[in-house]
Structure 1
């Protein structure tokens, strides 16, 4: 089984990158035959700008850009997609949002029919969402962010495409207390990434 772990943080020494590495450790600890690829969007220089070429791809007046075809091929080659990111202004970083805007395109992630119906095309892709936050759970709950996180990301993006969200986790430092606890939680998430497949 192969996981694509997509990371959005400008510093490779960040807690976010440490969590991604810990998830990868958990994936291989669960089964040494498991593999993973970490896609560091900053290091790879991914362009998040939704351009005229992307619009043409959406309208199906042209093929989607080559860089997006390459990203889609990486996802197609994975048995699970894992997103790891810091929570910025109650949402994901702009770089990761731009990756989703461009990569999850009409015709690949979903299909808009002439009658206005939506065909969900990613039912085969389990998704694991891991956001890192500095605020506590009570703060997120009190301001409605927990519900907003679920509505915007889990439902608004992945349910729209039919991709089942297996993990939807916010690792919040006030509860975890220290980076080690965050890494331990991430390893546990990694160990469970392919657990449903093993259970079958």
Structure 2
């Protein structure tokens, strides 16, 4: 199994990056698993939905080279893992722009008036790991988790046929919670690698 891990944070020493690294450490504990990291900020991905992207959406153009390169990375993957800080109840604009430009009609989904939506990414599974800036109680009381589930798990991934296997929020508000979050991220990676090991043993 091959996993693509996508992050979006301007700080190379961020907790977001540490969580992604902890997840990878869990993946690496058993053989048979490969991975690739798409650090959107470090790679300079342009999230702006431009005139060519609009033409792609309307069936008048092929995707740009950078969009096709991202689609190819996803095509190589069996699992997609998004790791991001929660901004305004959702993902950062950089990651949202990546979704806007990469998950295009004709690749992620098709639509026509007679048959409706055809989901084209049914081979792909996804995990979402959000880094929260408030206590768990606040997220539950204000509906942050439900908002992420509705916007990302349902509104984006389910629309394209991607099965979301986990949506996890980490709350690194003090040093103890930070360490607990890293341990949880590592455990999520271990669960993925163990699933591969069990599948190979069958």
Same fold (TM over 0.5): yes
Tell me the residue number matched to 1:167: 166
Secondary structure (helix, strand or coil) at the match of 2:28 reads: helix
Secondary structure (helix, strand or coil) at the match of 1:118 reads: strand
Q: Which moved more, 1:113-122 or 1:5-14?
A: 113-122
Offset from partner CA, 1:155-192 (integer Å, 9 cap, x none) = 11100001000111111125983322111111001111
Classify 1:11/1:41 alpha carbon distance in 2 versus 1 (closer, same or farther; 3 Å).
Answer: same
TM-score, normalising length: structure 2: 0.93
Structure 2 CA distance, aligned partners of 1:121 and 1:164? Answer: 12
Classify 1:96/1:16 alpha carbon distance in 2 versus 1 (closer, same or farther; 3 Å).
Answer: same
Structure 2 CA distance, aligned partners of 1:20 and 1:26? Answer: 10
Q: Shift of the alpha carbon at 1:127?
A: 0.4
CA contact (8 A) 1:126 1:165 kept: yes
Which blocks of at least 5 consecutive residues in structure 2 are unaligned?
A: none
Tell me the residue number matched to 1:152: 151
Secondary structure (helix, strand or coil) at the match of 2:90 reads: coil
Tell me the residue number matched to 1:25: 25
Structure-to-structure mapping, 1:5-154, within 5 angstroms: 5-29=5-29, 31-115=30-114, 117-154=116-153
Structure 2 CA distance, aligned partners of 1:167 and 1:32? Answer: 22
Offset from partner CA, 1:35-94 (integer Å, 9 cap, x none) = 111111001000000011001111111101111000000010111111000011211100
CA contact (8 A) 2:28 2:193 kept: no
Q: Say what the alpha-carbon RMSD is for the aligned residues.
A: 1.6
Q: How many residues align?
A: 199
Structure 2 CA distance, aligned partners of 1:76 and 1:175? Answer: 38
Secondary structure (helix, strand or coil) at the match of 1:178 reads: helix
Q: Shift of the alpha carbon at 1:116?
A: 6.2
TM-score, normalising length: structure 1: 0.94
Which blocks of at least 5 consecutive residues in structure 1 are unaligned?
A: none
Is 1:177–2:176 an aligned residue pair?
yes
Structure 2 CA distance, aligned partners of 1:184 and 1:171? Answer: 11
CA contact (8 A) 1:19 1:186 kept: yes
CA contact (8 A) 1:2 1:79 kept: yes
